[in-house]
Amino acid sequence: MAASRGRLATVMATAALTAGLVGGCGAVHKAMDCVHTADTIADSVTDLQQAVENAAHDPGRADSALDAIEKNVRKIGDKTDDADVNKAVDDLNKAVGHVRTAIRNGDRTPDVGPVTDAAGELTKGCAK
């Protein structure tokens, strides 16, 4: 009887440890996805900056960069429940919207600073 209680305690402890490790791995995987996607967004922000600088030669490139940022921001927003990351996602979406509106209104050199700042905050949020 004592042996079976000991075995049961060992099994319970092993199950608890395994659950903790699996849960931890899920969190690590989620964080790595966030960091990877944030890195992709940073690349898209760089593309946006270059597109804005060359808007006279290729006005559609800025729209493509904005589309890429929005697509990747959605990926992060759909996968996270972190308040800081969600705030950064919201801020980035707003900044992208302002740049898109400026371009539609004929601004050939919209301020992309807020997009860059929000992308930086997103990266910080994912890395914590």
pLDDT digits (tens, 9 = 90+) for 54-98: 766 776 788 888 888 888 888 887 777 778 888 888 998 999 999
Q: What is the mean pLDDT of the chain?
A: 74
DSSP string, 28-70: HHHHHHHHHHHHHHHHHHHHHHHHHHTTTT-THHHHHHHHHHH
- 75 contacts 37 by C-beta, under 8 angstroms: yes
What's the domain count of the chain? 1
DSSP 87: H
Within a domain: 70: yes
Task: Work out the percent of the chain whose per-residue pLDDT is above 90.
Answer: 8
Which bin fits 106, alpha (ψ -120 to 50), beta or left (φ > 0)? left
**pLDDT for position 25:** 55
Within a domain: 16: no
Within a domain: 8: no
Per-residue pLDDT tens over the stretch 8-19: 334 333 333 333
CATH number of the domain to which 67 belongs: 1.20.120.330
Q: At what angle do helices 2-53 and 83-104 cross, to 10 degrees?
A: 20
Within a domain: 11: no
* 123, two tokens: 């990266």
Within a domain: 7: no
Q: Taking the CA atoms of 82, 84, 90 and 93 in sequence, report the sign of the dihedral they define.
A: negative
Q: What is the pTM of this model?
A: 0.69
Within a domain: 69: yes
Give the end-to-end CA distance of the chain in Å, rounded to a whole number: 48
For residue 75, the enclosing domain spans 28-127
Confidence of residue 27 (pLDDT cuts 50, 70, 90): low
